[in-house]
Amino acid sequence: MTTLRPWLLLASALCGVPAGAATLVVDDDSPCPGAGTAGNPYCDIQTAVDAAPASGTTILVKPGTYQECVNAVDPDVKVVALVAEDPDPSATVLDGSLCFGTSTVVLGYGSSIDGFRLTLGDEGAITSFGSVSITNNLVENNAAQSSGGGIFADSGLESYSGPATINIVIEGNTVRNNTSERDGAGIWVSPRSSGTVDAVAVVQNNVVKSNHSSGVGGGIGGITQAGLGSTASLQITQNTVQSNIVDAAPGADTDGFGGGIWVSTSGPGQETITIDHNTVGAPLGSVDNNLRNTAVNNGGGISATVFAVDTAVHAIAMESNVVRRNTASVDGGGIELFVVGDSLTLPGRYSVLISDNDIENNTTADFGGGFLADVGTVNTSSRRNPTDIVGNRINNNFAGWGGGGGEARSFAEGGPRTFCGVSLRHNTVTGNTAESGDPDNPGFAGGFSLFTQADGAGIARIDAAYNTITGNTAEIGGGGIDLAGITSSNAGGNGTTLVEISNSLIENNTGFGVGAPPDPDPPYPGIFRLTLRSSDLSPNTEGPVESTLAAHRVDVCMPASTAAERAFPGIDSDNDVDGQDLLRLATAFASKPGAVHYNPLTDLDDDPDHVVDGSDLAILSASFGDTCP
């Protein structure tokens, strides 16, 4: 026995079922056409939509199977609430097998759909424009040639004339076994904004499973696009995303990204993407590899792109997700992040935060078993475009070439004064492996692979601080950290590259604590400096630091074998704590990762919110005037 929704029963009873009232009733067991009343329901949904006034109608659908195509947009927009009477979505079926070239349901501009099973759609199950609420549906076994095999939700700006904010809500659905020849096989969502219209999309509490895309985003795909002066945001939260696949046609280099989730920013306005509290792949404790998401290119679990140009203000945060047992055939087994900041001038900026995630047991064929963070700026002098990878647990991942735990790349291209920075702090990196089995291209960087390159007057910097990097394995070079590339060993890199490793435990790794390839002979132009500070780099099987780094290395307060020594602060790269250090903390005071004035180098304590606060100031103050012994 199923439980019917009591409020709907009450509404029906009170309605007296006159045609054109606030609630129309549909029952496939009723004789056609019917009148939309409780006593004489319509026999199909489209008839109810056609009969509904422009807005304000609830269409209550009785359990049954409805093999039809429902369109509430053409020729006239009808703002309707499609509600399955039975809360069990399997009881009310919308069969789209006759909807050739169109979605089973097309709606939007304030409409909603709740509680259906939508299946066999030929061009996706649900297509929506403008504000929409898509809740508690079972969306399965649909296909689409375009994006959104299950659900496609777009702002529909071209025909939009509604309120100042478009709200897209996709919540509580199960979306499985859908396919798309393009992007977002399970769910595709594109909050776009323009002029005076903002857009907000929330994808929440859905189960997105076993979908298959041939573009990007095997499970979920999303893109924000804000026009100048407007804002667009996308939040993907508390979803379970498992067993999805993204592949690509041969030679389609931009496809095959994001087995579970793919997102990107794109516009000139203000855009925010948040991916938080999702389970992407196997949950914690599970060893079921069948739950992995798979990408034929990068980002087995999640692939995220920031593309910020000129005055665009873009932010992406990935927080508190479980990203486990995913697979990428190229780079970034768990997470791939690709950032481009091009010609950014105020207010233009980007910020990226990857924080407090469990990134475990992911695999990739080449670089970044746990994650790949590929960050580059072009003609951008501001240092306030942070990429912070903070407080993650990065364990037991595998890379077939470099960066078992993860690879971070910092590129500063163009000049003068272009700056690019990546910060990795407070991460736990254990049990990761870089192994190729190929003696000609041995696996390097069991824990972190750090790659910097700067052109012209550019400065590319990576900071790795307060990390615990233990028990990782590489076949060559750094078992803990390997500097996969340094300026003077990269053709085209003639700027300044800086890597600072501080306040970290790097021990019990197979390989060197910190390693790097040898310089070529003759070297390429450019400056490279490695600063090692207040870290403990032993024991590691091959020694603390590979000899290839001797010419580039500055040691400050090394080694630091006790917690007190590792806590020795200092923010700039000299060997003391003075006014310059305090000044930098002052300008970053009260900030946290993602804030415009956050400076991860000033986050000295280990509080979980990583706010630069009085605790950090106290630590710095306690050492004010100290110098390294």
CB of 353 to other proteins, least distance (A): 15
DSSP secondary structure of 331-388: S-SSEEEEEEEES--TT-EEEEEEES-EEES-EESSB-SSEEEEEEEES---S---EE
Output the smallest distance, CB 381 to other proteins, in A. 9
Q: Considering the complex, what minimum distance in angstroms separates the CB of residue 409 from other proteins? A: 24
User: 27 Cβ partners below 8 Å, 6+ apart?
Assistant: 34, 41, 42, 43, 61, 62, 64
CB of 620 to other proteins, least distance (A): 10
Q: Report the residue from 145, 428, 508, 621 that binds other proteins according to the rule CB under 8 A.
A: 621
Q: CB-wise, 98 or 586, nearer to other proteins?
A: 586
Phi, psi of 549, rounded to the nearest 5 degrees: -95, 0
Q: What's 613's DSSP letter?
A: -
Q: Which stretch in 140-148, 267-275, 549-557, 613-621 sits in contact with other proteins by CB under 8 A? A: 613-621
Nearer of residues 527 and 596 to other proteins, judged by Cβ: 596
Q: How far is the CB of 624 from other proteins (least distance, A)?
A: 5
Total binding residues for other proteins by CB under 8 A? 26
Q: Burial-class residue 303 by CB neighbours within 10 Å (0-12, 13-18, 19+).
A: buried
Minimum distance from residue 606 beta carbon to other proteins (Å): 20
User: What amino acid is encoded at 9 in this protein?
Assistant: L
Quick check: bond before 268 cis, omega within 30?
A: no
DSSP codes joined into one string, 568-596 = ---SSSSSB--HHHHHHHHHTTT--TTST
Q: Which is nearer to other proteins, 510 or 621 (CB)?
A: 621
Q: CA angle, corner 81, sides to 201 and 194, nearest 5?
A: 35
User: Rounded to the nearest whole angstrom, what is the least distance from the CB of residue 423 to other proteins in the complex?
Assistant: 15
End-to-end Cα distance, the chain: 77
Coil, strand, or helix at residue 167?
strand
**Residue among 212 and 592 whose Cβ is closer to other proteins:** 592
Is the Cβ of residue 176 or residue 349 nearer to other proteins in the bound state? 349
Provide, rounded to whole angstroms, the least separation between the CB of residue 578 and other proteins: 4
Identify residues 526-585 at the interface with other proteins (CB under 8 A). Answer: 574, 576, 578-584
For other proteins, give the closer residue by CB, 95 or 578: 578
Minimum distance from CB of 595 to other proteins (Å)? 6
Between residues 347 and 525, which has the closer beta carbon with respect to other proteins? 347
Q: Which is nearer to other proteins, 393 or 584 (CB)?
A: 584
C-alpha triplet 175, 176, 182: angle, nearest 5° = 90
Shortest distance, CB of residue 596 to other proteins, whole angstroms? 5
Rounded (to 5) percent helix, strand, coil in the chain: 10, 40, 50
Which string of x and - marks every residue 345-384 that binds other proteins (by CB under 8 A)? Answer: --------------------------------------xx
Please, which residue, 288 or 572, has the CB nearer to other proteins? 572
Answer for which of 6, 31, 439, 625 binds other proteins (CB under 8 A) is 625
Write out the binding residues for other proteins, residues 384-403 only, by CB under 8 A.
384
Between residue 578 and residue 607, which ones bind other proteins under the rule CB under 8 A? 578-584, 586-591, 595-597, 599
Give me the least distance between CB of 586 and other proteins, in Å please.
4
Q: How far apart are CA 201 and CA 318, in angstroms?
A: 16
3-class SS at 401?
coil
| Interface stretch with other proteins, choices 90-98, 411-419, 548-556, 620-628 (CB under 8 A) | 620-628
C-alpha of 494 from chain center:
32
SS3 12: helix
Cβ proximity to other proteins, 388 vs 581, nearer residue: 581
Question: Helix or strand or coil: residue 435?
Answer: coil
Contact between residue 374 and residue 409 where contact means Cβ atoms under 8 Å apart: yes
CB 185 within 8 A of CB 208: no
**CB nearer to other proteins: pick between 90 and 623:** 623
Give the binding site for other proteins (CB under 8 A).
383-384, 574, 576, 578-584, 586-591, 595-597, 599, 614, 617, 621, 624-625
